Structure 1
Amino acid sequence: MATTGTMQLRLISPSLAVFIGLLSVFSPGNCDEQVPLIAWTSEGVSSPSQSPPVAGHIVEQQQLSSYLEKALSDGPKNVVLFLQDKMSIEDFTMYGGAFGNKQDSVFPNLEGALRSSSSPLVLPAVSRPASNAVIGQLQEQLETSPLYLDPETLSQLRLNASSPALLVFRLPYGIGADLMSAKEILSGNDEVIGQVMSTMKSQSVPYTAIYTALRPSREAASVSVEAGVGGGRSLLQYRDRYRERERERERQRKMKERAGIYGPVEFKEGEETCILMWAKSLSVRILRSGRWEDHDLTPSTFGEGVSPKLHGSSCDKTKARLVLNYENVLGHRSFKLIFAMSQRHYRVSARRWFTLDALELEYDGTKATFNGSRHIYAPAEYSYRCESVTSFRWPQLVPRTSKDPANQWRVSFEDFQIQGFNVSGSDFSYASDCAGFFSPGIWMGLMTSLLMVLILTYGLHMIMQLRTMDRFDDPKGPAISVPQTE
C-alpha cells in the first residue's frame, strides 16, 4: 500500500536505514514530536503508487489524510492498525538488522511483510498530532467505528472483503535503566504482528496494515548519540546527560511504584478518552469447599508499563462499559470484570447523574452480577470516589438475586475512583466522595458536646432547686426558744 511517507525503507538495508536515522536527526522541527509510520498490504495485493514528499519533510495531519484517502480508495477496505504507545525511527535502526546482521533483528515478521508487499512505504518523520489523528481519519474515511482487539479475539471474528473494518491492536512500549527491556518488548510486538497477519491470511481476506505510535520513544539527545552522528567531546557530554536523565526517571518510577502511585485505566473511543478507572487495590474472592480463595488483580491492572486488555469496552453519551480482560484467575482461563454505567436526567434535582448500574464477573460462560446503582452514583460531570467499595462488610455492591452466582464471590476495591462520562483529557474531574456528611469524627464531636450539655443542664437544674430558710436567728432580738418535751 502507498502511504504517507517520505521514502521507501527496507529494514534490511544498512545504508538506507542509517540515512533515515540521520534524516530524523536533521529534519526541521522538534525531533521529540516525530514518530515513524509504516504501511503495507497483504501478500498478492497491489496498491497504487504515490509521489512521496521531498526528503526531510515532516508529514502533517492534512497531508497524511490525503495519502490515506487515496490509498484506501483503491486498496483493501479492511485496515489493521498496530498502534504502539511509543516508537522512534531509531528503534528500527538499532534493532531491525539495519547493519547487516539479520539474526539480531527483532522484526522478522515485519520485515517479511514488507518484502512480500508490492509497494511498502515508511514515513520516518510524521508529526505527533498527525499520528494521534490516524484512528479518527481512518474512521472517517472507512465510515466505521474502530474495533479494539487482541490476536486471540481476532480468530473468532469473521471478516468480509466487501465490508470495511478498522481493527486496532494496541502494543506496549517500555524502557528501563538499560535498553534490553525495549528490545524484548519490541520483539514481543513483532510476534503479535506476525500472529495477526497469520490469522488474516487463514481467512483469505485482503487487508491494509499500518504500524505507528502515539508519541516518540527517544529524545533528541539520544538520537544523536545512538545514531552515531558527529563526534568529539560534545557527544560524550550528551551521552552522560542522557544517562543521568534515564537514571533519574527510573528512580522516580520506582519511588512511585513503592508509593502505589500509577496512572488510571484509560479507555479511548477514537482519540478521546471516555472512561477512567483507578484503585489502589483490586481483589476478588471465590467460595470453594467452604473456604475463600482470593486473587489480587492489582499488578495486572495498574502500574508502570501495564496495559490491561480492554476489548469489549464502549462508551457514548448515555452508556459506558469498561471491560477488563484477564487470564487464569482462580482457575478460570478467561475472566472479565465489567463496569456497566449509565447517565440520565433527574427532574427532582434538575441535573444529570451517572450510576454504576452493575459490576459483572464473566468467567467460562458464567456471569455473576452485582448491583451498584443504590450506592455508587455522582453528578454526570463529576467522578465517583470512595475509600472502600466491597460486596461485604457494609456492601455497596449487592448480588441482584439470592440465586445469582455473585453470592459465591467477593469483590473489593481500595481507594476506588471511576468516571464514565464527560472526561476531559486523561485526568479525573472533581470527585464526588462516598463519605457521608456525618463522619466518625463529627459523630464523636457531637456526642461529646451533647454529654457536656447534659452535665450543664443537670447542674443548672440542681442550682435552681436550692431553697432558703423561712426564719433566721437575729442576735439583736430575742433568742429563738425551742421547747423541749420529755
Structure 2
Amino acid sequence: MAAVASLSLFITFSFFSYFETGGSTAQVPLLMWSTDSLPPVPSSSAGRITSDHQLASYLASAFETGAHTVLLFLQDKLSKDDFTTFAGVFGNEEDGVFRNLKGLLRSSASSVTFPAVAWSPSTSTAALLEEQLGAAPAPVDVDTLSRVDVDPSVSNLLVVNLPYCTSLQKSCREVLHNNDEVIAKVVSTMEDKNVPYTAMYTGGRPSRVISEPAAAERPVARALLQAVIPEVRPPVMFNASGGPCIMMWARNLNVTFLPGSNWTDLAVDTPSLTESMCNSTNSLLVLSYPTGVTLSFSMSQQFYPVSARNWFTLDSVQLQSNGVTASFVGSRAIYAPAEYSFHCQSVSSFGDALLVPNSTNPNVSDWRLNFIDFQIQGFGLTNTTDFSYASDCAGFFTPGIWMGLLTSLLMLSIFVYGLHMIMQLNTMDRFDDPKGPSISVPQSE
C-alpha cells in the first residue's frame, strides 16, 4: 500500500510543485524503491523543490548504518513532463511506457518519490551517493551485472546509464520504453543474485526547464493566457582588442565518440575562449569545456574577382578529447559573404555531411558531430549583440520544388504531344462527301 500511495503522491506532487515553485530553477524527479524499509519523505518536500542539502540529509538517514547496494538508473535527461507528455506512462497498462517501473514501485517493500529535486551542473545525485556510501560509482549494464559477483557485505554503487531521446535517435516513446525494459532486466538480475538493494531512477539533467513566475508575483485578478517564451542562451562571442571579432550560436552542439553511444550536448556548458584569435584574414574560435573536450572552428576570408567581394569559409572543425584530435573539413557549402553570417539548420559529419572527416587516426574514425540551428560569423562584426544578415545553407530550389517542376514539365509535354497529334488528324472526304462522284463497279457476264 505504501508503494501505491507513493505513486499517487508523485502525480499529485507534480501538479502542485508546478504552481508552487517560483523562478526558473532547474529540477529533476527522483523515484526510489528498496527491498528494505525507507524513511518517510519529510513533509516539507511535498509540493516544493527539494534542495541538495535536503536530499543529502534524507540519503544520510536512509544509509546511516550497515552496508548498502544502490542501483542508480541515471538517464541523460528527465523531467516531470516526461511522465505526463507520453500517454500511459502511469496509466493504461497496455499502453504504458513505464509499466515495468510502475510494477516495481508497487511490488517493492518501500518506495518514495521526490517530484522536484534542484539540479545544477556542479552537483549530481551520483556524487551525493558516493559521499554517503563511501563507494566509487561502477558503471554496469545487464550483461556486466550478470557476470560479476556483488558483495552485500560492503557498500556498492552500481550506475546504469540510460539514453534520452534526441532528434538523431528513435522516438521518445520508444527510447523510454527501452529504458523501462533495461530497468526491469537489471532488477531481475539483482533478485536472482539474492542481493538486497535500493534502486533510484533520476536524470543527469532536466529534459525541459519551464520558467514560471513565483506565485506572489502573479496577479490575482483575471488575465489573458500568455505564451511563456523560453530562455534563449546568448551567443558565444570572442572580443579582440578592436571589439567583437567572432560570434557563434547553436541550439545543440552534439558530439559522440563511440558508435551507438549517447550524444553529448556541449551547448549546455559555458566554454573558455582563451585560445581563440582573429585578424583580417583568419579567425580561430576555440571552445574549451570543463569536461576536457575542446571544439575549434577555423575560418578564413579572401577576395574573389568574379563576384568582386570578399567571402569567408569555415575551413575546418577540430574535436579534441583526452589528447586525441579529430579533424573535419568544411565542404564548399559552408561559405558566406565576409560581411554576412552563415546559418544552417543542421551541420553534421555523417549522412548529408557538410563536415567531412579528415583524420587518419583509426581511434577517431567513429567520432561524429551534429550541430543543430548553427550560426557563425568570423568577420565583419559591427554589432555586439546580433549577427549580420545570414546566408542560409538551404537553397531556393529544394528537392520538393524540383520534383514538382519535373512532374509538371512531364505532364505538360504529354499534353502538348497529344494536342499536336489531334491537330494532325485529316478527314476522309472521298467517302464522306455526298456530292462527289459515285463509285462505279463494272459487272462482267
Normalised TM-score (structure 1)? 0.45
Normalised TM-score (structure 2)? 0.49
Higher share of residues assigned helix: 1
